[in-house]
Amino acid sequence: MRPTQRVGAHRSTSSGGWPRWAILLAGLAVAIVLAAAGLFALDTLRPQAPPPAETQAPEVVDDPAAIDPSLDASITVLNSSGERRFAAAVGQALADEGWDVIATSVSTPADTTVVWFDSEDLAPVARGLVARLGVGEAQLSEGRLSGTPITIVLGPDAVGTAPSVEPHESMLPDPSQTVPAP
């Protein structure tokens, strides 16, 4: 080998590339951009919940003439309010409007007014009676509570709210009969 010949000339003393910190910074920027793009893609591909359906108000039959004739929508009115002859007065007012009130009676005390019905077919009629009374709630019973499929139990909250008129003798309950409140 010649002494004037350079050894290791294939190695360069200066680097012509990027500094290490710039490469790391560029890699970090690429990772952030890819992560953001992935999250955006996942968000757009995620199944979306359907828009909330418009809730329809439950059907209410507040006109006795609109009741399906094939339904037995006869009514018993029970007085649980403590007011004398209140069931008869409310029953008479409902009968005068065309509702099929069959009987009125006295009931054991109850706190609130409830219109009980024994079949889902009668739910719109029961809600209509609640609307007409201006008080109470309609509830499905687990069977017939009285001799009719709809039983109105008038609580103290109905006094002064429910329509009432002077009852005819036929609407007055038998004072010897007291029906237990459901």
177 vs 119 pLDDT, higher one: 119
- Say which DSSP state 100 is in: -
Does residue 182 contact residue 143 with C-beta atoms inside 8 Å? no
Least confident among 84-88, 97-101, 113-117, 163-167 = 163-167
Burial class (CB in 10 A: 0-12, 13-18, 19+), 83: middle
**Degrees (nearest 5) of the Cα angle 133, 138, 144?**
110
- pLDDT tens digits, 18-34: 788 888 999 999 999 99
How many C-beta atoms surround the C-beta of residue 123 within 10 A?
A: 18
How much is the pLDDT for 76? 93
pLDDT level of residue 51 (50, 70, 90 thresholds) = confident
pLDDT level of residue 174 (50, 70, 90 thresholds) = low
45 vs 148 pLDDT, higher one: 148
How much is the pLDDT for 162? 83
Asked if CATH classification 3.40.30.10 holds for the domain at 64-179, the reply, yes or no, is no
Output phi, psi for 111, to 5 deg.
-80, -35
Q: At what angle do helices 123-133 and 86-96 cross, to 10 degrees?
A: 110
How much is the pLDDT for 13? 57
How much is the pLDDT for 180? 58
**Degrees (nearest 5) of the Cα angle 90, 108, 144?**
75
Q: Is the pLDDT of residue 114 over 80?
A: yes
How much is the pLDDT for 56? 77
Please give the structure tokens belonging to residue 179. Answer: 């029906």
**For the chain, what is the mean pLDDT?**
84
Q: Report the SS3 class of residue 179.
A: strand
Domain ranges of the chain: 18-48, 64-179
Least confident among 17-21, 70-74, 100-104, 118-122 = 17-21
Q: Is the pLDDT of residue 170 over 70?
A: no
pTM exceeding 0.75? no
How much is the pLDDT for 55? 74
pLDDT level of residue 178 (50, 70, 90 thresholds) = low
